[in-house]
Amino acid sequence: MTALPAREPLTRSTEDYLKAIYRLSSGGAPVSTNDIAGLLGLAPASVSGMIKRLSEQGLLEHMPYRGVSLTPDGRRVALRMLRRHRLIEAYLVAFLGHTWDTVHDEAERLEHAVSDDLVERMAHALGNPRVDPHGDPIPAPDGTIAEFIHVPLAEIAAGESVTIGRVDARDDGRLRYLAQHGLVPGARIAVVDREPFGGPLTLDVAGQRKIVGPELAALILCERGGG
Amino acid sequence: MTALPAREPLTRSTEDYLKAIYRLSSGGAPVSTNDIAGLLGLAPASVSGMIKRLSEQGLLEHMPYRGVSLTPDGRRVALRMLRRHRLIEAYLVAFLGHTWDTVHDEAERLEHAVSDDLVERMAHALGNPRVDPHGDPIPAPDGTIAEFIHVPLAEIAAGESVTIGRVDARDDGRLRYLAQHGLVPGARIAVVDREPFGGPLTLDVAGQRKIVGPELAALILCERGGG
DNA sequence: CTAGAGATTTAGGATACACTAAATTTCAGA
DNA sequence: TCTGAAATTTAGTGTATCCTAAATCTCTAG
Ligand SMILES: [Mn+2]
Ligand SMILES: [Mn+2]
Ligand SMILES: [Mn+2]
Ligand SMILES: [Mn+2]
């Protein structure tokens, strides 16, 4: 299997650092100390210290003053945490009445406490979903993760119809607003009209007219294709 | 309400200490450092150190060299953890296919990570149960806890019929064995015969004859009454 | 009434992880 | 090429929690 070599159990901090670094690695470039500190809400000096420890554990590659990247082991941990986080979110929404704007904080803590066994039981109860409530792909147990090709709603031309695939908002307020207006993953929407120069879009969402500004339109990621 | 005064969030260690001390307090007498160390698997010196900190936080009353007892605040924390622990056990058994011999470790970690909101959602999904899968009473949100009067099976006379109320086994092996033989909370059983001087008991469990030694018979706690 | 044995606390040390303040390095722009 | 702002690391602290070894206290058995 892809089992990690026997090592000390990772701490909550360690797991959150690796998850953050994974997220910041999307571009492929090394991740900066400052960006990690920003995402985790820590002082840059604290991040430098942790980077040293994680490198010694073989979870990160560190080029001093240049940035870090995940080793295969580090990446494995990050994807495992992502699987946990997203499955927990999906489970809480499906079975315990949470909504997509409230699940994140709960999952952020539970992801460190659940056993592999419990995660897989939740996955099974959910029917092994491929995405979480925000449309983010759920890594497979072996660390495989799907790459969806999404286009921001902001770039869709008037007249086009699309399906919402993912919503990139992080805060409760925006998430609640979007849900209220039916702008959730899976929704079919049509761009009826759009004003130029960053102006608002007029949408057809389930037969209703909705106006959406450019800020939100950048966060709503769509799948082209289908009519 | 019974809200605690605003204080730092408690750590996992703190919560586990208070829960352990609550359990050891059943007799009413002060709890010894050694007993706490034994239950938590720590060196007695470590417990002395933690006792000092918890006393300073107003969670324990410490009489040096004599033992500790919970303050009202400490007791409140302990009961809150017990509610969490037992509801989590009940939830995992009811909805995620766990069995009563596997839930303890999972609950021991999750109890520190769930929010009050999630705990109450689980309670609601379960129909606000009064006991956990082992028959242990679940404290109410306000800290009330039912006191059941149970008699060890070892003390039931031949010819009597009883209902199992609680099973005091802690280890997987015994729990699995008991479940296999139908000796779980709620089961109606009759003591058909018993050998003297700590000899085995012959039981009728759902029409089947079962022989149980004195060790297990001491752990099976029964409700008298009914016939 | 007193010597231990046993329980408990204290002393000293380690690890993990956070912080602030002070170096140090990088790199863009003059 | 040089310089200074920004980024990063290092130095020095502090808290929480654990450990082992050494004191200290308690209480029972003789
Ligand atoms: Mn987390
Ligand atoms: Mn999500
Ligand atoms: Mn616990
Ligand atoms: Mn239990």
CB proximity B62–strand C (7 Å threshold): yes
Which nucleotide's C1' is closest to A42 (Cα)? Answer: C18
**Among candidates A92, A98, A122 on the partner chain, residue whose Cβ is nearest the Cβ of B96:** A122
Domains and their CATH numbers in chain A: 1-147 (1.10.10.10), 151-223 (2.30.30.90)
Protein CA B49 to sugar C1' C10 (Å): 10
Is the separation of the CB atoms in A81 and A46 below 8 Å? Answer: no
- The backbone torsions φ and ψ at residue B182, rounded to the nearest 5 degrees and listed phi first, read 75, 15
Distance CA A211, CA A192 (A): 10
Protein CA B63 to sugar C1' C16 (Å): 31
Is the separation of the CB atoms in B156 and B202 below 8 Å? Answer: no
Residues of A in contact with B95 (CB under 8 A): 95, 125
Strands in B188-194's sheet, in edge-to-edge order, are: B151-152, B220-223, B161-167, B188-194, B201-205, B208-212
**Among candidates A96, A98, A109 on the partner chain, residue whose Cβ is nearest the Cβ of B113:** A109
Is the separation of the CB atoms in B122 and B115 below 8 Å? Answer: no
Count interface pairs A-B at CB distance under 8 A. Answer: 42
Footprint of strand D on the protein (CB under 7 A): A 32-35, 44-45, 47-49, 51-52, 62, 64-65, 67; B 8, 11-14, 40-43, 45-46, 49-50, 53, 64-66
pLDDT in tens, chain A (227 residues): 444 455 778 999 999 999 999 999 998 899 999 999 999 999 999 999 999 999 999 999 999 999 999 999 999 999 999 999 999 999 999 999 999 999 999 999 999 999 999 999 999 999 999 999 999 999 999 999 999 999 999 999 999 999 999 999 988 899 999 999 999 999 999 999 999 888 899 999 999 999 999 999 999 999 986 54
Protein CA B54 to sugar C1' D26 (Å): 24
Distance CA B68, CA B63 (A): 6
Give, for A54, the enclosing helix (H) or strand (E). helix A44-56
